[in-house]
Amino acid sequence: MTLKKGAALAFVMFCVAALVISNWFTGWMGKAIAQTRSYMLPVLVIVLTLEPLMFLIILSIARVPPYNPPKTTPSHVTEGVISEKSPDDLERGVAVTTTGIWETAFVIPCHNSDREALRKVIESAYPHFRPQDIFIIDNGRSRYPQDLSFRYWLKNLHPDLVYIWSPIDSKNAAQLVGSLAAKDYKYILTTDDDVSLPENYRHPIHLMNDHLRAVAFPLAGTDADGNTPLGMVSWQDCEYRMAGLVKLAENRTCGVNFPHGAGWFVDRDVFVELLSKYHPMDFIAEDANAGFSIMRLGKGIAFDAQVTLATEVPATVLGPGLNWCKQRIKSWEMGRHSLIWKIMRHLFRMNGQRTIQGILMQKGLFLYILACLVIDWVRIPVLVALGAHKEYWIFFFSLAFVASL
């Protein structure tokens, strides 16, 4: 346990103790429960209908483009004549020189990766990148790799793939290492080690300008075989597509606030400055922190709705390996709630916005996020306060039915 997590846990325990002791002397909880019961209906309306109402607003703003755009013709991967690099040079991140159209480097942070999944990712990149444009950053916890078999395996795939060992044990630090190594490129595409590029992928440079220096992509959820079976996987796929609708609405008004951590496209100089100066390098809520860092730079994020990246999602709630509980409760949800104060600070900043509609949309979305975080905290107290009354369940199921419609 880190010092930061220990301090947070101690603070929570202190708050719980303060609540128990104060209630012992004043009995304020009983009074609060009685007051909550008197506002049963409005409380339930807010808790159950806020999200559906927000999505009605989002749907009225978003404009969904054709889902299946024409496939691009894969370009032949030309093997440029490059200087031979020794293994030591590659580990130190000595980048090859790029010329002509080869302006984008593909940076893939990884560690203990599924080799078959990573092989598919690399092969999906070949129509768009030369092997020497692909930087595999192995972010471990030791100064030197304990096992060289992964590096040899990569070199067997193609000797020009750039392998770099990063001893910092941080995905974002690995992205920084890869971006620094790709010093002769103008742009960086970075994805997780299980995100293959679709056939219709193309570098979204046409969406960038002096203000928009990064591009986000929509996500689709799949299982390990690339399928979307009914149940846990399809549910999370639906969540990703709803998030894509939000980004479509943002793109029309204020620009995308936060990219997906699974993959995005960014100007290399901006990415290096973002990671080295503003990003906390914490994996939890890394995508939100990337968005806040872009805002601090006074830049914006565009959205390429034509290219959908598929990412593997948990197939079980509490099963072996990556499951829903580990991903959401121990990582994503903790990350969301750790950003409350940061969201409140940015609520009172311009964040690079230049139009009235952009300012209003961004502030509205921040207020919505804060409201959702507050609702997360009041769900259990509301259930404790109102669950013993049959009127609560009548209202609950009625409103839940309306919200689901």
Tell me the DSSP string of 220-247.
EEE-TTS---TTHHHHHHHHHHHHHHHH
> What does the pLDDT read at residue 330?
62
> What does the pLDDT read at residue 187?
97
> What does the pLDDT read at residue 53?
86
> What does the pLDDT read at residue 333?
66
- Residues 171 and 287: beta-carbon distance below 8 Å: no
Residue with tokens 């750790």: 338
> What does the pLDDT read at residue 98?
41
Question: 2 CB contacts (<8 Å, ≥6 apart)?
Answer: none
Coil vs helix vs strand at 273? helix
Whether 104 shows a pLDDT value over 90: the answer reads yes
pTM: 0.81
Instruction: For residue 310, count other CB atoms closer than 10 A to its CB.
Output: 21
In the chain, domain spans: 87-349
Coil vs helix vs strand at 191? strand
Residue with tokens 């209908």: 49
Residue 180's pLDDT band, with cuts at 50, 70 and 90, is very high
The reply to whether CATH 3.50.50.60 applies to domain 87-349 is: no
Whether 370 shows a pLDDT value over 60: the answer reads yes
223-270 per-position pLDDT tens digit: 877 888 888 889 889 889 999 999 999 999 999 999 998 999 999 999
What's the token pair of residue 107? Answer: 């940076």
Rounded to whole angstroms, how far apart are CA atoms 94 and 305?
34
Q: Is the torsion defined by CA of 231, 234, 239, 240 positive or negative?
A: positive
How many CA atoms, within 13 angstroms, populate the side-chain half-sphere of residue 66? Answer: 4
Rounded to whole angstroms, how far apart are CA atoms 208 and 402?
41
Segment among 86-100, 123-137, 251-265, 352-366 with least mean pLDDT: 86-100
